[in-house]
Amino acid sequence: NAGVTQTPKFQVLKTGQSMTLQCAQDMNHEYMSWYRQDPGMGLRLIHYSVGAGITDQGEVPNGYNVSRSTTEDFPLRLLSAAPSQTSVYFCASKRAANYGYTFGSGTRLTVV
């Protein structure tokens, strides 16, 4: 099993550009989430999904969209990139509530 696969690993964007961070898992997990990790701020929840067709906002959703058309995929879209979105983004999945997450290896995004 590949686990949770995130692409790309690194990305540089110009302010105002849009892009999609890809996340795929092959463990048939129902729950998937996107986090961003910033120095001194810890991991903050952007959006999450408890199953295909169901998404909800986390702590810092502004500027990001998600969709969950399949169990396997949970892409994160940046609508109009801003320097404040420079961060490391992690996708994670898990089987159900009260189980632990499996994290991807992250996407390091820089917005200039």
Partner 1 sequence: TQLLEQSPQFLSIQEGENLTVYCNSSSVFSSLQWYRQEPGEGPVLLVTVVTGGEVKKLKRLTFQFGDARKDSSLHITAAQPGDTGLYLCAGETSGGSNYKLTFGKGTLLTVNP
* Residues in contact with partner 1 by the rule CB under 8 A: 4, 31, 33, 35, 40-45, 48, 50, 54, 56, 58-59, 90, 92, 97-106
For the bound state, the minimum distance from the C-beta of residue 88 to partner 1, rounded and expressed in Å, comes to: 9
Q: Which is nearer to partner 1, 77 or 95 (CB)?
A: 95
Four-point Cα dihedral 72, 101, 34, 59, nearest 10: 140
For the bound state, the minimum distance from the C-beta of residue 86 to partner 1, rounded and expressed in Å, comes to: 16
| 84/75 Cα distance (integer angstroms) | 20
Q: What is the DSSP string of 62-81?
A: TTEEE--SSSSB--EEESS-
For the bound state, the minimum distance from the C-beta of residue 111 to partner 1, rounded and expressed in Å, comes to: 20
